[in-house]
Amino acid sequence: GMTEGGGLNSFLVTLGEKVGVKKDLFGTCIDSDQYLPQIKAKEEEARKLGITQTPTIYINGIALPGTQPYRVVKELIEHLRD
């Protein structure tokens, strides 16, 4: 965790602080396992849907992995509307 010199957690706290997140509250949150069950459940849900990377946009059973241009997302939505 952050108090144990955890590089990733320290980085996240610093990043959060830059965008206005309260350092102490955020540090406590990411150091705890309070939300771990929800995170694990979402990971399993994503795995079942075939989502293997972030970001992934998932619309009506169709996964668009990676960063997609607006036009790709728009075309998919328009195709699904027809």
Query: pLDDT tens, 11-46?
Result: 988 999 999 999 899 888 888 888 889 999 999 999
What is the rounded distance in angstroms from the CA atom of residue 18 to the CA atom of residue 13? 9
What is the rounded distance in angstroms from the CA atom of residue 51 to the CA atom of residue 65? 7
pLDDT (mean) for 47-56: 90
pLDDT for 6: 65
CA 62 to chain centre: 18
Sorted by sequence, the CB contacts under 8 Å of residue 1 that are 6+ apart come out as 9, 30, 31
Name the one residue in this structure whose structure tokens are 């979402």.
42
pLDDT for 1: 42
pLDDT above 90 (res 5): no
pLDDT for 3: 45
For the chain, give the mean pLDDT.
88
